[in-house]
Amino acid sequence: MSLPKTLWSPRESFKKASNMNAYKVWLSKNQNIDFDNYQQLWNWSIKHQNEFWESILNYFQVDYSGEYNAVNTASKNMYETRWFEGIEVSYAEHIFKNISKEKAAIVFKSEHQRFEKITWDSLHSQTAKIANYLKSCGVKKGDRVCSMLPNSPEAIIAFLATNSIGAVWTSCSPDFGIKSILDRFTQIEPKVFITTNAYQYNGKIFSKIDEVKEIASAIPSITNVLMVDYIEGIETDYQPDSWKKVLSGEDIDLYFERVDFNHPIWILYSSGTTGKPKAITHSVGGILIEHFKALALHQNVKPGDTFFWYSTTGWMMWNYAVSALLVKGTVAIYDGSPAFPNAYALWDFAEEAEINHFGAGASYYLYCMKEGMDFTKNEYIKNIESFGSTGSPLPPEGFDWFNKKVNPNAWIISLSGGTDICSGFVGGNPFEPVYEGEIQCRMLGVNLKSYSEEGNPIVNELGEMVIENAMPSMPIYFWNDKNNKRYKSSYFDMYPGKWRHGDWIKITERNTLIIYGRSDATLNRGGVRIGTSEIYSATESVEEVADSLIVCIDQENGSQTMPMFVQLKEGFELDMKLKQKIKKKIKTQYSSRHIPDKIFQVSEIPYTISGKKMEAPVKKILSGIAIEKAASIDAMKNPKALEFFKTFKFKE
């Protein structure tokens, strides 16, 4: 089998200067363990997971109180595993530990605000004042604080303040619909609601005052509402507590409440597109050591680096990016549309903020590629160290665009994991090359395998992504999930005792990985399983096609049909000639099995707020399930996109 194109190979000097190498040297010096390459290091990390996770705790000098007798409880049920029982830690304490004042803590820009820097002193002072406010509201360890804030410095400050007193953070972004927010916040009974008065997106201002009042009145546990006047000129008679007034008070000391290692840090939510959102609860200690590992070792973020990942406060990548502060990096945040006032908004911000590590969803990069963006003459973009991609598989042509049009020396870090662990299972590796269309490695401590239908590990074949060992950042539980019923059914029904993640994956003989999409959106052609990402890659490389979605529908007679829906660029219509062009492209790149039975034109492809194609809900609707049962409309980016499928008939 021929090797795919090599897009990046780390120089020896880069490898030696990497955080991963510093950790490897530390292991040699402190534990007398030596490794010749990354694969040996990874093998040790999964075969000796207790020693590995203890080394992460020690290498990153995690401060704690108390003592632990065992690294983990070694429960036969992965979901009951607990880590470092007996010690207490604080996430926020480590954010403010050994800070350097040479660079800002946060750099920020939005559609309506100029570039701004938040110093470490300012971050510390504002966090202390908000923490004191929360205490004055009666918030104590274990209480929940909910937020509806844009991706602004206030969101980071509110989270750190919440964490500093041992309370539990949870967040929805302002673009969520009110039902979607209530479906989430009513599950967890928050005490304080921190919110914005409005937000701006794509040049338009959206007041949130009415929604704030409705949310506050609908959740009896909320005792106080703290409002940020994010957008000026929003007229209202509503007078909740004022963020500005709280910050105008006298300076106060910031105290860190250490909590049990397995105490909840935050509650994240599943998309809720096919039912009530799962309230996924992570631990303080688990996130602390996982994010140290992921950001320092696998993304090579160093003190003084500026780390950016385009996100909203409703996506786990916001939480992940904030943790760049742990390794004394600067967090760059941007609020607004990535295409306003023009398609170069994020790239202009990258230069203004002096970003070293640039991250976004794969769909954003494909949009840039289709827009014909070329940065070969931009000296700053050409010198960004790494480009991260997640949210959906980055196809080979996306890798190729980076190599030819963005930065020929780019370290492309394709990251995949999820809200489930608030990190990656697979991702970057500063020791190994980047091959076109492939993810570099299984991350340290992640015993990931590809399973056949019979439940056996396989290599060089498409299989189910399965995690065979517990990880500290796996959920401690789903909030209000009696007897772990939803937790167990979400991951452990197919392979008892092992985590089935729900992605199709191939592990190559070189230990690189290719993800083909969600296994619950599997296409089945003559018994052969096909990942949707391959078909999207071919279809969306056709010049006239802007976007696409494909599903496999079971028929009453036992057969299956595979319709594809395409969104075309402005000015194009789907005629027979274009259909044949799409089919030919798919067949040429992959096989005749990949060709859809029929192709239909739609005005837009439905997406979740977090930017994922809604394959499973569309499949349910086309199978006769009502829209309101197939999808949570308030959790969608473009709800009207589903209307087409409601009345769709299989006629081409």
- At position 649, the amino acid (one-letter code) is K
Quick one: pLDDT band at residue 486, thresholds 50, 70, 90?
very high
What values do phi and psi take at 542, rounded to 5? -70, 130
Q: Which alpha helices (DSSP H) does 137-208 contain, by range?
A: 153-164, 178-185
Distance between CA atoms of residues 176 and 171, nearest Å: 11
Q: CB–CB of 139/145 below 8 Å?
A: yes
How is residue 351 written in tokens? 């230069």
Q: Which candidate, 636, 613, 635, 609, places its Cα nearest to that of 312?
A: 609
| CA dihedral (401, 405, 411, 417) positive or negative | negative
Flag whether pLDDT at 230 surpasses 70: yes
Residues of CATH 3.30.300.30 domain(s) within the chain?
522-646
Q: CB–CB of 307/332 below 8 Å?
A: yes
Which residues face 137 on adjacent strands? none
DSSP for 25-62, please give it.
HHHHHHH----SSHHHHHHHHHHTHHHHHHHHHHHTT-
pLDDT reported for residue 305: 97
Quick one: pLDDT band at residue 557, thresholds 50, 70, 90?
low
Q: Which one has a higher pLDDT value, 626 or 227?
A: 227
What values do phi and psi take at 631, rounded to 5? -150, 150
Quick one: pLDDT band at residue 427, thresholds 50, 70, 90?
very high
Flag whether pLDDT at 525 surpasses 80: no
| Rounded alpha-carbon distances, angstroms, from residue 142 to 158, 160, 221, 651 | 16, 14, 14, 55
pLDDT reported for residue 377: 86
The CATH topology of domain 100-507 is Rossmann fold (3.40.50)
Distance between CA atoms of residues 180 and 248, nearest Å: 33
Residue with tokens 């994020």: 346
244-300: per-residue pLDDT in tens? 999 999 999 999 999 999 999 999 998 765 567 899 999 999 999 999 999 999 999
Distance between CA atoms of residues 98 and 96, nearest Å: 7
Q: Is the CATH code 1.10.3720.10 the one for domain 522-646?
A: no
331-364: per-residue pLDDT in tens? 999 999 999 999 899 999 999 999 999 999 988 9
Residue with tokens 């409880």: 73
Tell me the percentage of the chain whose pLDDT exceeds 90: 72
DSSP for 507-528, please give it.
E-TTS-EEEEEEGGG-EEETTE
Which residues neighbour 494 within 8 Å (Cβ) at sequence distance 6 or greater? Answer: 464, 500
Quick one: pLDDT band at residue 566, thresholds 50, 70, 90?
very high
Residue 241, Cβ neighbours under 10 Å: how many? Answer: 16
Q: CB–CB of 303/327 below 8 Å?
A: yes
Quick one: pLDDT band at residue 322, thresholds 50, 70, 90?
very high
Flag whether pLDDT at 590 surpasses 80: no
Distance between CA atoms of residues 345 and 201, nearest Å: 13
416 Rama class: left (phi>0) / alpha (psi -120 to 50) / beta: beta
Flag whether pLDDT at 459 surpasses 60: yes
Flag whether pLDDT at 308 surpasses 80: yes
Tell me the percentage of the chain whose pLDDT exceeds 70: 97
Distance between CA atoms of residues 256 and 89, nearest Å: 9
- Mean pLDDT taken over the chain: 92
Q: CB–CB of 521/532 below 8 Å?
A: yes
Flag whether pLDDT at 652 surpasses 80: no
594-606: per-residue pLDDT in tens? 889 999 999 999 9
pLDDT reported for residue 453: 81
Distance between CA atoms of residues 443 and 428, nearest Å: 8
pLDDT reported for residue 440: 98
Query: What pTM was estimated for this model as a whole?
Result: 0.87
How is residue 534 written in tokens? 């391959």
Q: CB–CB of 234/207 below 8 Å?
A: yes
Residues of CATH 3.40.50.12780 domain(s) within the chain?
100-507
Quick one: pLDDT band at residue 52, thresholds 50, 70, 90?
very high
pLDDT reported for residue 524: 65
Specify the pairing of strand 144-148 against strand 513-518.
Answer: unpaired
Residue 374, Cβ neighbours under 10 Å: how many? Answer: 12
Distance between CA atoms of residues 507 and 458, nearest Å: 8
- Which pairs from 27-33 meet CB under 8 Å and 24+ separation? 27/55, 30/58, 31/55
Most confident of 74-88, 375-389, 469-483: 469-483
Q: Which one has a higher pLDDT value, 608 or 424?
A: 424
Residue with tokens 């290719």: 514
Residue 522, Cβ neighbours under 10 Å: how many? Answer: 18
322 Rama class: left (phi>0) / alpha (psi -120 to 50) / beta: alpha
Q: Which candidate, 514, 486, 490, places its Cα nearest to that of 502?
A: 490
Quick one: pLDDT band at residue 496, thresholds 50, 70, 90?
confident
Which residues face 574 on adjacent strands? none
Distance between CA atoms of residues 50 and 54, nearest Å: 6
Which residues face 225 on adjacent strands? 193
Task: Mean pLDDT check: name the lowest of 157-161, 221-225, 375-379, 625-629.
Answer: 625-629
Distance between CA atoms of residues 387 and 375, nearest Å: 14
DSSP for 414-479, please give it.
E-EEETTTTEEEEE--TTS-EETT-B-EEPTT--EEEE-TTS-B-SSS-EEEEE-S--TTS-SEET
Quick one: pLDDT band at residue 395, thresholds 50, 70, 90?
confident
pLDDT reported for residue 283: 99
Distance between CA atoms of residues 177 and 174, nearest Å: 8
pLDDT reported for residue 556: 61
| CA dihedral (401, 404, 406, 410) positive or negative | positive
Burial state string for 482-496 with b = 16 or more CB within 10 A and e = fewer than 16: eebebbbebbbeebe
Q: 296: which DSSP letter?
A: I
Residue 9, Cβ neighbours under 10 Å: how many? Answer: 12
Residues present in the chain in total = 652
How is residue 425 written in tokens? 């299972």
Instruction: Tell how far CA 254 is from the center of its chain.
Output: 30
163-201: per-residue pLDDT in tens? 999 999 999 999 988 888 999 999 999 999 999 999 999
How is residue 155 written in tokens? 């969101």
Provide the edge-to-edge strand list for the sheet that holds 598-601: 545-550, 563-568, 598-601
